[in-house]
Amino acid sequence: MRLPRGAAGASASDRSRSRGDRGSALIITLWVAFGLVALALYFGDTSALDLRASDNRAAGLEADQAIEGAARYATYLLGKLDPPGVLPAPATYQHEAAAVGDSTFWFLGRDPKQPAQVTTDLPFFALVDEASKLDLNTATAAMLQLLPRMTPELAAAIVDWRDADSEVTELGAEDETYLLKNPPYHCKNAPFESVDELRLVEGADAGILYGEDLNRNGVLDVNENDGTASLPLDDRNGRLDPGILEFVTVAAKEPLTTTNGTPRINIRQNPGQNAQLRTLLQTALGTARGNQVMGQLGGGGAGGGQGGQGGQPVTINSVLEFYLRSRMTTDEFALVESDLYSAQGTNAPSGLVNINTAGEQVLACIPGIGTELAPTLVAYRQSNAGKRDTVAWAAELLGAQNAARAGRYITGRSHHFSADIAAVGHLGRGYRRARFVFDLSAGTPRIIYRQDLGDLGWALGRPARSRLQTLAMDSR
Ligand SMILES: [Ca+2]
Ligand SMILES: [Ca+2]
Ligand SMILES: [Ca+2]
Ligand SMILES: [Ca+2]
């Protein structure tokens, strides 16, 4: 008997269908399993990413804290300067890769021994003397013009920006220029409050402000020496040619009292008749020598020596001019220098450049020094490290005439400093950077300016980066 074809066929097809069902079920199961694995992997990966992100956030918070800590540390250091107004050598304080818990901070500074243009990619770590720079509020257009990369137009526009009037100086810019901008704004007609205000001034482009030093760390980073391959556009000559931000500051006013609170003496008008000055000189140098020095100052007055009663009025424009006229020895002068200042009326002097810390480019801007004598001063300073808080030494090098011209622009000690602080959290993650400016003129250091510089990117150079990368790799 033959089975009906249909029956046999049905049974075969049933078998094959059931095999097919099992196959489908297997495929579905596989797909489900695959989906689950994919989901698990996806969520696993997301939570790993989440974990990494929150770890980075934590590191960033640690770095923020390290920056606050470093700023407090800088305040503490600046509060106990000895001699006053002079930064100690970096080796005497924490300045590089200083550990705070799991985080680390650095003070990005400038090497006073470096030649004018830096050729290294290793940053120098230290606090910075802001009085080593030219003051945007007091420097004349002629002085500003001598800065590297400065244009006559920008120098004139800086003066117009800060002066109260709206008269356009030659090549300068006032309201009529700024009101044509989109969006329009007014010329400030008031003193600069920060150097970053320069970005608003007509003629200040990135090339002039930053030069090749895009991350403002004072050293030659890879992108700053690769020509046009990456920003900034540089000349690939193996030397850092910085912009003017490197050389300018907004100075704090000098205090009118000394560090121990006694009023300083204004020696501008007829110092030979100044009773307070006489007392100071007699106390510091002895009565006889004090009287003798008073005699040198001339201008008449009782006991005024050869000046005698009715002598010509004497105007002394600077402490350095006073030193020359008094014929004191440098050691004698050092005893009284910080007690003296020269200013018109009741204004405290402001914007004086510290001749002991300013670099060649800044010294070259000062009348009486210029590009001819700036290298001489820097070279002398490097071989005579001792005289760090006086202006007297400059008199011998400049000669009396130049010293008298330069005197009103220079000082021997500083009243404002800055700390450019970079920090990372645990395992070198969470890079942060902020710059603080400190004003010491009121005695205790006060933070007068704070700027976030994190968006300028990594500024600690290659060696620090590879050290931190190794650290991070080792932790995995
Ligand atoms: Ca103006
Ligand atoms: Ca740089
Ligand atoms: Ca470049
Ligand atoms: Ca260059």
Distances (CA, A) of 365 to 21, 361, 407: 92, 7, 13
- Co-location of 146 and 185 in the same domain: yes
End-to-end CA distance of the chain: give it in Å, rounded.
77
Query: What is the average per-residue pLDDT within 432-460?
Result: 95
- 375 token code pair: 């290298």
Pair 195, 245: CB distance under 8 Å: yes
Any alpha helices (H) in 175-274, and if so which ranges?
175-178, 206-210
Query: Ligand 3 centre and the CA of 456: distance in Å?
Result: 15
Q: Coil, strand or helix: which one is 359?
A: coil
The closest ligand to the CA of 460 turns out to be: 2
CA dihedral 28, 31, 37, 39 (to 10 degrees): -100
Of 207, 204, 234, 229, the residue nearest 219 (C-alpha)? 234
The closest ligand to the CA of 159 turns out to be: 1
* pLDDT given at position 259: 80
Provide the sign of the torsion angle of the four alpha carbons 351, 91, 102, 468, taken in this order: positive
In a domain, 178, yes or no: yes
In a domain, 237, yes or no: yes
The span from the CA of 318 to the CA of 368, in Å, is 13
14 versus 380: which is more confidently predicted?
Answer: 380
* pLDDT given at position 253: 83
**Beta strand spans in 224-285 (E):** 248-249, 265-266
264: alpha, beta or left, given left = phi > 0 and alpha = psi -120 to 50?
beta
Query: Ligand 2 centre and the CA of 106: distance in Å?
Result: 15
The span from the CA of 454 to the CA of 151, in Å, is 29
Residue 403 pLDDT greater than 50, yes or no:
yes
Q: Coil, strand or helix: which one is 350?
A: strand
Residue 77 pLDDT greater than 90, yes or no:
yes
Residue 264 pLDDT greater than 50, yes or no:
yes
The closest ligand to the CA of 237 turns out to be: 4
* pLDDT given at position 402: 96
Query: Ligand 1 centre and the CA of 62: distance in Å?
Result: 44
pTM listed for this prediction = 0.85
Any alpha helices (H) in 79-178, and if so which ranges?
141-144, 152-162, 175-178
- Quick: pLDDT tens for 159-218: 999 999 999 999 999 999 999 999 999 999 999 999 999 999 999 999 999 999 999 999
* pLDDT given at position 115: 62
* pLDDT given at position 303: 44
- Quick: pLDDT tens for 113-167: 776 668 888 899 999 999 999 999 999 999 999 999 999 999 999 999 999 999 9
Pair 364, 371: CB distance under 8 Å: yes
**Which residue(s) pair with 40 in the sheet?**
none
- Co-location of 317 and 177 in the same domain: no
- Quick: pLDDT tens for 377-397: 999 998 887 667 889 999 989
Query: Ligand 4 centre and the CA of 117: distance in Å?
Result: 9
Q: For 184, how many CA atoms within 13 A lie in the half-sphere containing its CB? A: 8
In a domain, 38, yes or no: no
Neighbours of 344 (CB within 10 A): 11
Task: Please tell me the total count of domains within the chain.
Answer: 3
* pLDDT given at position 302: 46
- The CATH number of whichever domain residue 216 belongs to comes to 1.10.40.60
In a domain, 321, yes or no: yes
Any alpha helices (H) in 145-195, and if so which ranges?
152-162, 175-178
In a domain, 154, yes or no: yes
* pLDDT given at position 116: 60
The closest ligand to the CA of 214 turns out to be: 2
In a domain, 277, yes or no: yes
Residue 288 pLDDT greater than 70, yes or no:
yes
The closest ligand to the CA of 122 turns out to be: 2
Q: Which domain does 374 fall in, by range? A: 355-411
* pLDDT given at position 2: 46
**Which residue(s) pair with 81 in the sheet?**
none
At 9, the pLDDT band (50, 70, 90 cuts) reads: very low
Which of 194, 219, 253 marks a domain boundary?
Answer: 253
In a domain, 290, yes or no: yes
